[in-house]
A and B are shown apart, each in its own frame.
Chain A
């Protein structure tokens, strides 16, 4: 993951300066500003952030399910945002989405076989007996039985429905899948099953994935790279391991400190954020996080922090990150002494 404005060679998808504004009666909502990241081929990129951070909007924009206001999304050398509706149709096969809500994402009046079959028919991938066989195969792949094709969605549990949604996405043999909080509507016990399935499929099929979530432990478990969004801007991004081990942005630190630890005796310093995410109608000047940042100073209100590289692939948008990192090191040494 590099910060160059040129698309990265190893990336299947390079998003550059993605912007999305929603005009509303009370002003323009800036849902996304200047969002740029790369999704490496065969890897899983996690997009994290709290509600209203723009993570779902980003996923929808890349697929042009909502029209982006600006920027580029270079997929395999082609800017998806410049394609006409007709040209886009061919690319629809290569990019798919898995939805958050397993209930409303399946048409209640269609049998499971028709739901999956529609994907196959739309791109004329198989007909007749081959089509039926393919549906059975897809159902098997996601852990369901071939005879489930004749049933309606309401006959399944949430976890099973999500598997059907995954089968539908896989039916067109996509290269990139955007998973929009695919497990957050499921029971915790089922979450792990579905996550394992997704990881398995990703490895077996060599899929590239964008995994949108607010659950940091899930992202850590699954993702190779991570992008931290706050109020439509990227706060920090880099390889997941590095960001988790060494979060540089105060917001990332806060987020990580909120992740529950499985050891009840573990001593931890939880940073509690005050207030809510500000209204995107009227975002704070300078750094959008400054109103809730424990380290904010006057300068934070004046300049929009540029993205700074802290290591090869790890970048942070905070003007005080170097200073704060130094301070932390000093404190750690003092604690050791």
Chain B
């Protein structure tokens, strides 16, 4: 590496063009962006209020009037699907943030302090051994079903995934000379952990967080479908599918459209996660 003067910085392609070079990342970002826009702007876009009943128009197939058809109470599926996106994204984002807060803290502590490592690492392993949904169901059952409970439960369920990654990377970074240099300067431990360790973990955390976002949305849908999540009258993709289950034979649009929404959301997040992983990989970008 014999970089002597400025060309290195000038010659490096900008972030935007790097994103455009990766088609899957671009597609993921566009789809995810569209879903987010629809969800956020739902009150402006939705042709009907999500809970407006219309008994005469129950179980109407998709048409010019009801793009996605109507459900057993005559509610507009299109309106409900985009409103449901609000909650699904909210649950996914909140659960991811919570998982990140718990996971990063546990991982850093376990990776940095040998004494804590034994206990924390065992707890992480034990939690990873539980099937996600089973653990989430038992947590929701213990805390009582509500929106907040679902978020907390999913945050706890997915925290070990991040904790494991953070711990493993911390163990490696902790031994690097620049950490020793910081210690030799007398930099306080907490600042070493944040500035030197965590800052170098941003990319793996970001990538993992994207996947957790996707898993959390899927898990929320599963919990709602199983009836242990949000209460059934609140539209989420999970509750909508659960409601449509009885009419799968006669009114399959009730399950089809929220199902497509879930698939698109999860798929776009996975594409973004994969794309970010490639983009941030130091071997591909040569900045480590």
A residues with a Cβ closer than 8 A to B are 60, 63, 65, 88-90, 92-93, 95-97, 99-101, 104-110, 118-119, 122-123, 151-152, 154-158, 160, 165, 168, 172
Contact across chains for B178 and A106 when beta carbons are under 8 A apart: yes
Could you say which residues of chain A place their CB within 8 Å of the CB of B8?
154-155
Could you say which residues of chain B place their CB within 8 Å of the CB of A97?
180-181, 184
Determine how close the nearest CB of chain A comes to the CB of B182; give it in whole angstroms. 7
Determine how close the nearest CB of chain B comes to the CB of A169; give it in whole angstroms. 8
Q: Does B195 contact A (CB under 8 A)?
A: yes
Could you say which residues of chain B place their CB within 8 Å of the CB of A108?
200, 282, 287-288
Could you say which residues of chain A place their CB within 8 Å of the CB of B287?
108, 152, 154
Contact across chains for B1 and A105 when beta carbons are under 8 A apart: no
Could you say which residues of chain A place their CB within 8 Å of the CB of B3?
154-157
Q: Which of B185, B202, B287, B288 has the most CB of A within 10 A?
A: B185
Residue-wise interface mask of B (168-205) relative to A, using a CB-CB cutoff of 8 A (1 in contact, 0 not): 00000000111011111111100000011001101000
How far apart are the CA atoms of A88 and B185 in the complex, in Å?
10
Beta-carbon nearest neighbor of A145 in chain B: B5
Of A92, A100, A110, A157, which is within 8 A of B199 by CB?
Answer: A110
Of B1, B178, B181, B196, which is within 8 A of A154 by CB?
Answer: B1
Of A60, A118, A154, A165, which is within 8 A of B286 by CB?
Answer: A154
How far apart are the CA atoms of A86 and B266 in the complex, in Å?
49
Beta-carbon nearest neighbor of A119 in chain B: B185
Of B2, B181, B183, B199, which is within 8 A of A99 by CB?
Answer: B181
Q: If A157-B4, A158-B1 touch, does A151 touch B184 (CB 8 Å cutoff)? A: no
Q: Does B126 contact A (CB under 8 A)?
A: no
Of A99, A118, A152, which is within 8 A of B185 by CB?
Answer: A118
Q: Does B9 contact A (CB under 8 A)?
A: yes
Contact across chains for B199 and A107 when beta carbons are under 8 A apart: yes
B residues with a Cβ closer than 8 A to A are 1-4, 8-9, 176-178, 180-188, 195-196, 199-200, 202, 282, 286-288
Contact across chains for B186 and A96 when beta carbons are under 8 A apart: no
How far apart are the CA atoms of A168 and B200 in the complex, in Å?
20
Could you say which residues of chain B place their CB within 8 Å of the CB of A99?
177, 180-181
How far apart are the CA atoms of A109 and B199 in the complex, in Å?
7
Q: Pull 30 A–B residue pairs with CB atoms less than 8 Å apart, ordered by A.
A: A60-B180, A63-B184, A65-B180, A65-B184, A99-B177, A99-B181, A100-B177, A101-B177, A104-B177, A105-B176, A105-B180, A106-B178, A107-B195, A107-B199, A108-B287, A118-B185, A118-B195, A119-B185, A122-B185, A122-B188, A152-B287, A154-B288, A155-B3, A157-B1, A157-B2, A157-B3, A157-B4, A160-B4, A165-B181, A168-B181
Could you say which residues of chain A place their CB within 8 Å of the CB of B288?
108, 154
Q: If A63-B184, A118-B185 touch, does A155 touch B199 (CB 8 Å cutoff)? A: no
Could you say which residues of chain A place their CB within 8 Å of the CB of B286?
154
Beta-carbon nearest neighbor of B183 in chain A: A65
Could you say which residues of chain B place their CB within 8 Å of the CB of A90?
186
Of B9, B177, B186, which is within 8 A of A93 by CB?
Answer: B186
A-B interface, 9 closest residue pairs, ranked by CB to CB distance from nearest:
A92-B186, A105-B177, A89-B186, A99-B177, A107-B178, A155-B8, A109-B199, A97-B184, A108-B288
Could you say which residues of chain A place their CB within 8 Å of the CB of B185?
92, 96, 118-119, 122-123, 168, 172
Could you say which residues of chain B place their CB within 8 Å of the CB of A151?
9
Of B1, B183, B196, which is within 8 A of A107 by CB?
Answer: B196
Could you say which residues of chain A place their CB within 8 Å of the CB of B1?
154, 157-158
- List 9 other contacts, CB 8 Å, given A107-B178, A154-B1, A158-B1: A65-B183, A65-B184, A88-B186, A97-B181, A100-B177, A107-B195, A110-B199, A154-B288, A157-B4
How far apart are the CA atoms of A279 and B47 in the complex, in Å?
80
Determine how close the nearest CB of chain A comes to the CB of B8; give it in whole angstroms. 5
Could you say which residues of chain A place their CB within 8 Å of the CB of B180?
60, 65, 97, 99, 105
Could you say which residues of chain B place their CB within 8 Å of the CB of A172?
185
Could you say which residues of chain B place their CB within 8 Å of the CB of A165?
181
Determine how close the nearest CB of chain A comes to the CB of B137; give it in whole angstroms. 40
Beta-carbon nearest neighbor of A157 in chain B: B2
Could you say which residues of chain A place their CB within 8 Å of the CB of B202?
109
